Structure 1
């Protein structure tokens, strides 16, 4: 899915548009399976008791709240998080109800690093660390194909530096 063209300047185009790696959804999906399985087991245990209906209602309400909080909310956050590299800047947008974002012009990026642990290497993702003119480096976790993104971002920074020196 392309990033909305209305948010880009006239001579700007999207180079990379990614969501965080699907690895971050493993926990929420596991919670879904545990809640559904546990609630089903408990519902079967009380099926022969005379007060089964209030227990089933309570299990349903608690189960739905847990699923909403620990499964649907993280999936929504994952879906609405965008990591976008354009020809002029790096953009990160996140949030469902309250959107937040950061834009870093290519010429303000000083260095680009990445980190990949064993689990990240298995899943093909990693953490991208960007140092800009700000005090603290920015870390973006669970970036899919982090080495390729690192390379593209580094080339973009290098190309931008050469254009600045020529001017």
Structure 2
């Protein structure tokens, strides 16, 4: 689920689309398991109106602390095209941020020990604007994304150089 083709400019194509590492859903998964187990146990040991209350409470907990975080994670994407970096997020109201590649000044990444174990990291993009740099946390394969984005930014800043001259 990258960027919609209707949002691409003529001559623009998608290079890669990422969302945060699945580790962002760890707490939501734990809530799902505990609430489902607790709701199932509560429903088994109660009856009547109390059973209904237990099941409704478990359903609400699962919806708010497991399903909604999953949907937020699913709809929050970062897409790199040959011309720009696009952040899109939102369930009901979609918002986004677009940074043209020729406006990007610096691309760097950070990897903590837990990130190294899980194969992810934080990508930091600084652009020539008044806004703060874009920090993309928990990017899977952050070195690969960093390398691709850096190459595209270099090509945007030096469009006349051939690939041999860039090396």
- TM-score normalised by structure 2 residue count: 0.89
1:148 to 144, 149, 159: 144
Residue 70 (structure 1) shift: 0.5
Is 2:134 the partner of 1:138?
yes
What do residues 19-47 of structure 1 show as CA deviations (whole Å, max 9, x unaligned)?
2211111111110001111222333333x
1:19-30 counterparts in 2 under 5 A?
19-30=19-30
Structure 1: distance between partners of 2:127 and 2:160: 16
Structure 1: distance between partners of 2:2 and 2:29: 27
Structure 1: distance between partners of 2:17 and 2:134: 18
1:1-167 counterparts in 2 under 5 A?
1=1, 3-46=3-46, 52-135=47-130, 136-163=132-159
Residue 2 (structure 1) shift: 5.1
Structure 1: distance between partners of 2:88 and 2:2: 14
Residue 74 (structure 1) shift: 0.8
Task: Let me know the Cα RMSD of the aligned residues.
Answer: 1.6
| Residue correspondences, number | 160
> Unpaired segments of 5 or more residues in structure 1?
47-51
Structure 2: distance between partners of 1:2 and 1:81: 10
> Unpaired segments of 5 or more residues in structure 2?
162-167
Q: Which runs of 4+ in 1 moved over 6 A?
A: none
Residue 108 (structure 1) shift: 0.5
Structure 2: distance between partners of 1:118 and 1:42: 39
Structure 1: distance between partners of 2:160 and 2:65: 47
Structure 2: distance between partners of 1:164 and 1:80: 37
- TM-score normalised by structure 1 residue count: 0.89
